[in-house]
């Protein structure tokens, strides 16, 4: 468009208008007179817990962004995080305790005072304890501080049956890293040269600090991101190479990689010799797992595996073979993640820039620096011990297949069968906080049946969600924007802490998990192990009376100290560290590294490529094996699920601002596969297998293998109060196999199904 005289004139008049406009704005600028503050806090719209800053104008939360003091995120926040204020003000939130008046699930309630509701909970829980013993109440929660507070209460009450969401999400990598390396590890995405990603979809299941680094990594020209995923996911779309691997078969690909590295002697022999045990067992287990062997299993050409093995070795140790987060694809998940842990060790990338490293907290740094420079925390909950009585899932119990699983986290799929069979003993009550068992755990139908058998069910939630709808008492929890909570460790490459501060006072007097469980324990007179009464006391015990730390965390939300990053096996980092902290010189070895500081809390004190402890109790699982990879079970398709960037598991589907962005989750099917079955876009189909059947609506796409189906997890609610999400979309848990994976008891979310036109 050429500039005409008319438009030129228009522009000049426009500038005239601008003055008036700004004048007008000046009048509007009562903004200046409004009370406006920024409250640093911690997000809870998913499990990541990003540091945030809530803008509060005249007592109303107006905007949420990242806390700029936290450098890894700065002001970034995702769609869910930004929608936190919309949850806070969602008219569908429950703010008054509810007591059921109709049948379970009938959605008939009466409002009650907190006093009445808590007294009813106390009375019912006491009755169950008297009649059946405290072990007959199960406790479920998502992880985080609500889980900690629920665990305290369960211990005080006397039940060992405590569950977190671990078994349906991150249990595998947590267990594998601890078994192999003795503790958790971090990934240096920012400095890597090559990343192998097995569907760790950080671009839809966002962890902002990692997402940011991985996105920047992916956009580099001199680095390679290799993604294996049966679906063209968000992370696959940014990859340098995408391999549409057959569902459940990552393990075969990994074992072929390891086979090539060992065959060609392309691995860090010095590292393996110095830091590991069990290489001979690895050599034995991958003898037959050649690239050719995996070809028919994974669908990836042998020559591609050969090439990739060479590519990775050429970039080692600046390589990350990513173990992912929600790794629940097959019963062999433990072995898959073990193979990843072993592959990393073979590349010698531990404590190397661009590799993997141990998170270093205040205690570690104090030791390295030779003085108490950084405050450490005390544990106000130390007196609470999980009862040693028998659990319904056998976790931590001698002779049980779940021996290795933490008694704090448990195996969720075992709850409903235990209730229905009354084995190993009758279960009579269920206490739940913010976990939607019906959407998130396999065997939804049995769960509903089981809940109906119970004497008493209490649910703490923000919404009248699926599980709460089946409860007897629903206690409305304050949202995270209305809660003061404890000090949490936020150390990565350097020590740091952060803390949730309430942005506004709780609407209509809703209560935090700290308050609810504390009050309940007091009412029931089982609170002798509580060392604190209020959250402020809790914080001060944690801080060991260091009121400056608490004050700084109230003011800034996140506190850290300028400490140079250190990778123990990187000379240049070590020397910079010693320059600043001269006492650390004592830990420097003759290579200029700090390898003496690398400590593995494993039975052998080394990286365990072979696990004697596992082998002893679960023969055959101590070394890599190729069992249990199949996820089809004789069916035509494998149905997978994954996360969307818009919603969090089963929690946010009804939230207006997010519902408007994504109100539905259709079933992905490959165009060719659909045509063969004469199915069209938008067709309603039934997904059917031996575990049940469920309806879905098709979306034809090129972005998935012909033998695979995909759903975004979290839809298919049966919660009449939440009309926006009720009965919309597909709940995959209805047709999942409730049997769990070996060693780590993971819930398997890949399942074989057939499709029938509805």
The footprint of another protein on this chain (CB under 8 A) covers a number of residues equal to 69
- Of 289-297, 475-483, 670-678, 739-747, the window that binds another protein (rule: CB under 8 A) is 670-678
Cis peptide before 123 (omega within 30 of 0): no
In angstroms, give the least distance from the CB of 145 to another protein.
24
* Residue 599 within binding range of another protein, rule CB under 8 A: no
With binding defined as CB under 8 A, does residue 676 bind another protein? no
Closer of 32 and 101 to another protein (Cβ): 32
List the interface residues with another protein, window 447-486 (CB under 8 A).
none
Question: 687: closest CA among 715, 667, 717, 716?
Answer: 667
Collect all residues with Cβ–Cβ distance below 8 Å to 726 and sequence separation of at least 6: 717, 718, 719, 720
Single residue of 206, 550, 734, 755 touching another protein by CB under 8 A = 206
Q: How far apart are CA 468 and CA 600, in angstroms?
A: 43
Does 583 participate in binding another protein (rule CB under 8 A)? no
**CA 460/CA 714 separation, integer angstroms:** 19
Joined tokens for residue 497: 């802490």
Residue 32, judged by CB atoms within 10 A of its CB (0-12, 13-18, 19+), counts as: exposed
DSSP state for residue 31 in the 8-state scheme: G
Q: Single out the segment in contact with another protein by CB under 8 A; choices: 60-68, 249-257, 592-600, 613-621.
A: 60-68
Binding flags for another protein, 235-254, as an x/- string (CB under 8 A): --xxxxxxxx----------
What is the rounded distance in angstroms from the CA atom of residue 601 to the CA atom of residue 104?
48
| DSSP conformation letters of 675-738 | HHTT--TT-EEEEEETTEEEEEEEEEESSB-TTEEEEETT--B--TT-TTTBT-S--GGGG---
**Does 702 contact another protein by CB under 8 A?**
yes
Closer Cβ to another protein, 215 or 554, answer by number: 215
Nearest distance from C-beta of residue 312 to another protein, angstroms: 14
* Nearest distance from C-beta of residue 661 to another protein, angstroms: 5
Interface with another protein (CB under 8 A), residue from 163, 166, 232, 323? 232
Q: Which of 34, 71, 183, 219 binds another protein (CB under 8 A)?
A: 219
CA proximity to 628, closest of 553, 715, 740: 740
Nearer to another protein, 527 or 706 (CB): 706
Residues 6+ positions from 91 with CB-CB distance below 8 Å = none
Q: Given the rule CB under 8 A, which of 2-10, 100-108, 592-600, 723-731 is the region that contacts another protein?
A: 2-10
Candidate segments 163-171, 233-241, 568-576, 629-637, binder of another protein by CB under 8 A = 233-241
Please state, in angstroms and rounded to a whole number, the distance separating the CA atoms of residues 444 and 437: 8
For residues 750 and 329, the answer to whether their CB atoms sit within 8 Å is yes
**The only residue of 509, 661, 693, 697 in contact with another protein, by rule CB under 8 A:** 661
Q: Which is nearer to another protein, 468 or 708 (CB)?
A: 708
Say whether residue 6 binds another protein (CB under 8 A). Answer: yes
Binders in 71-100 for another protein, by CB under 8 A? 75-79, 81-83, 85-86
Binding segment for another protein among 139-147, 207-215, 274-282, 747-755 (CB under 8 A)? 207-215
Question: Residue 49 interacts with another protein (CB under 8 A)?
Answer: no
CB of 404 to another protein, least distance (A): 35
Selected binder of another protein within 118, 155, 218, 460 (CB under 8 A)? 218
Residues 6+ apart with CB under 8 A from 30: none
Q: Which of 729, 734, 756 is nearest to 667 (CA)?
A: 729
By CB under 8 A, is residue 119 in contact with another protein?
Answer: no
Residues 21-40 that bind another protein (CB under 8 A): 21, 24-25, 28
Greatest Cα-to-Cα distance within the chain, rounded to the nearest angstrom: 91
* DSSP labels, 504-534: SPPGGG-B-HHHHHHHHHHHTT--TT---SS
CB of 748 to another protein, least distance (A): 25
> Which of residues 6 and 270 has its CB atom nearest to another protein in the complex?
6
Q: Which stretch binds another protein (CB under 8 A): 391-399, 442-450, 619-627, 698-706?
A: 698-706
Site for another protein (CB under 8 A): which residue of 23, 34, 59, 63?
A: 63
Give the N- to C-terminal CA distance of the chain in Å, as an integer: 54
Closest to 334 measured CA to CA, from 758, 748, 634, 750: 748
Q: How far is the CB of 610 from another protein (least distance, A)?
A: 34
> Which of 296, 660, 676, 723 touches another protein by CB under 8 A?
660
* C-alpha neighbours within 13 Å on the C-beta side of residue 556: 17
Q: Is the peptide bond before 424 cis (omega within 30 degrees of 0)?
A: yes
Among 64, 98, 125, 471, binds another protein (CB under 8 A): 64
Output DSSP code: residue 28: H
**What is the strand order of the sheet 194-197 is part of?**
241-243, 224-228, 194-197, 319-322
Q: Is there binding between residue 548 and another protein (CB under 8 A)? A: no
Identify the residue among 370, 656, 692, 720 touching another protein (CB under 8 A).
Answer: 656
Q: Are 61 and 54 in contact (CB under 8 A)?
A: yes
Which residue number, 62 or 586, has a Cβ lying nearer to another protein? Answer: 62
Residue 234 interacting with another protein (CB under 8 A): yes
Of 41, 43, 46, 66, the one binding another protein by CB under 8 A: 66
Q: Rounded to an integer, what distance in angstroms lies between the CA atom of residue 217 and that of residue 193?
A: 8
Burial class (CB in 10 A: 0-12, 13-18, 19+), 525: exposed
Kindly tell me which of 58 and 273 has the beta carbon lying closer to another protein: 58
User: Mapping DSSP to helix (H, G, I), strand (E, B) and coil, where does residue 279 land?
Assistant: helix
Q: Which residues pair with 429 in a beta bridge?
A: 137, 456
Residues in contact with another protein by CB under 8 A are 1-4, 6-7, 10-11, 13-15, 17-18, 20-21, 24-25, 28, 62-66, 75-79, 81-83, 85-86, 203-204, 206, 208, 211-212, 215-216, 218-219, 232, 234, 237-244, 645-646, 656-658, 660-661, 670-672, 701-706
């Amino acid at each position: 468009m050429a500039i005409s005289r008319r438009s030129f004139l228009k522009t000049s008049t426009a500038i005239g208008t601008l003055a008036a406009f700004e004048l007008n704005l000046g009048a509007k600028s009562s903004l200046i007179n409004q009370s406006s503050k920024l409250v640093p806090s911690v997000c809870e719209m998913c499990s990541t817990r990003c540091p945030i800053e809530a803008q509060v104008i005249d007592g109303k939360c107006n905007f949420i962004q990242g806390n700029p003091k936290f450098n890894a995120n700065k002001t970034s926040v995702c769609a869910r995080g930004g929608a936190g204020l919309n949850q806070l003000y969602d008219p569908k939130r429950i703010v008054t305790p509810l007591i059921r008046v109709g049948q379970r699930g009938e959605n008939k309630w009466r409002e009650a005072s907190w006093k009445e509701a808590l007294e009813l909970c106390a009375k019912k829980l006491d009755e169950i304890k008297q009649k059946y013993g405290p072990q007959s109440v199960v406790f479920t929660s998502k992880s985080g501080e609500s889980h900690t507070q629920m665990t305290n209460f369960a211990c005080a009450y006397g039940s060992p049956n405590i569950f977190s969401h671990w078994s349906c999400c991150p249990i595998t990598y947590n267990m594998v890293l601890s078994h192999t390396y003795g503790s958790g590890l971090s990934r240096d995405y920012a400095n890597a040269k090559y990343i192998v990603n097995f569907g760790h979809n950080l671009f839809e299941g966002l962890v902002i600090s990692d997402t940011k680094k991985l996105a920047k990594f992916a956009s580099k020209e001199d680095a390679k991101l290799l993604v294996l995923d049966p679906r063209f996911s968000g992370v696959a779309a940014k990859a340098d190479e995408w391999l549409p691997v057959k569902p459940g078969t990552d393990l075969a690909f990994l074992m072929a990689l390891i086979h090539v590295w060992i065959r060609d002697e392309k691995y860090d022999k010095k590292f393996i010799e110095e830091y590991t045990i069990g290489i001979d067992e690895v050599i034995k287990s991958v003898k037959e797992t050649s690239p050719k062997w995996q070809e028919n299993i994974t669908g990836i050409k042998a020559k591609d595996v050969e090439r990739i093995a060479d590519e990775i070795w050429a970039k080692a140790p600046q390589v990350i073979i990513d173990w992912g987060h929600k790794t629940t694809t097959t019963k062999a998940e433990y072995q898959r993640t073990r193979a990843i842990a072993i592959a990393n060790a073979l590349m010698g990338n531990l404590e190397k820039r661009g590799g993997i490293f141990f998170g270093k907290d205040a205690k570690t740094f104090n030791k390295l620096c030779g003085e108490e420079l950084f405050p450490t925390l005390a544990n106000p909950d130390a007196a609470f011990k999980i009862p040693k009585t028998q659990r319904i899932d056998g976790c931590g119990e001698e002779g049980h297949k779940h021996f290795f699983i933490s008694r704090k986290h448990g195996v969720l799929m075992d709850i409903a069968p235990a209730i229905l069979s009354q084995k190993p003993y009758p279960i009579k009550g269920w206490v739940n906080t913010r976990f939607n068992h019906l959407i998130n755990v396999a065997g939804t139908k049995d769960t509903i049946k089981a809940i109906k058998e119970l004497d008493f069910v209490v649910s703490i939630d923000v919404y009248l969600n699926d599980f709460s709808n089946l409860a007897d008492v629903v206690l409305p929890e304050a949202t995270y924007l209305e809660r003061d909570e404890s000090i949490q460790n936020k150390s990565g490459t350097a020590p740091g802490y952060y803390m949730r501060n309430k942005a506004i006072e709780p609407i209509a007097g809703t209560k935090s998990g700290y308050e609810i469980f504390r009050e309940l324990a007091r009412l029931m007179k089982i609170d002798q192990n509580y060392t604190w009464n209020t959250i402020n006391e809790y914080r001060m015990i944690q801080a060991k009376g260091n009121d400056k730390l608490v004050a700084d965390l109230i003011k800034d939300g996140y506190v850290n100290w300028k400490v140079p990053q250190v990778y123990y096996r990187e000379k240049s980092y070590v020397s910079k560290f010693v320059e600043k902290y001269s006492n650390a010189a004592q830990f420097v070895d003759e290579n200029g590294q700090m390898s003496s500081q690398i400590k593995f809390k494993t039975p052998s004190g080394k990286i365990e490529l072979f696990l004697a402890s596992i082998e002893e109790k679960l023969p055959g699982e101590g070394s890599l094996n190729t069992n249990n990879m199949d996820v089809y079970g004789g069916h035509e398709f494998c149905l997978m699920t994954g996360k969307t960037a818009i919603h969090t598991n089963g929690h946010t589907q009804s939230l207006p601002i997010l519902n408007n962005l994504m109100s539905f989750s259709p079933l992905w099917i490959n165009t060719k596969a659909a045509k063969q079955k004469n199915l069209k876009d938008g067709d309603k189909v039934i997904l059917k297998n031996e575990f049940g059947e469920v309806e879905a609506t098709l979306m034809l796409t090129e972005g998935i293998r012909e033998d695979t189906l995909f759903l975004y997890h979290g839809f298919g609610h049966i919660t009449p109060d939440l009309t926006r999400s009720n009965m919309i979309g597909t709940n995959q848990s209805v047709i999942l196999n409730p049997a769990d994976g070996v060693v780590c008891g993971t819930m398997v979310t890949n399942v074989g199904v057939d499709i029938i036109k509805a």
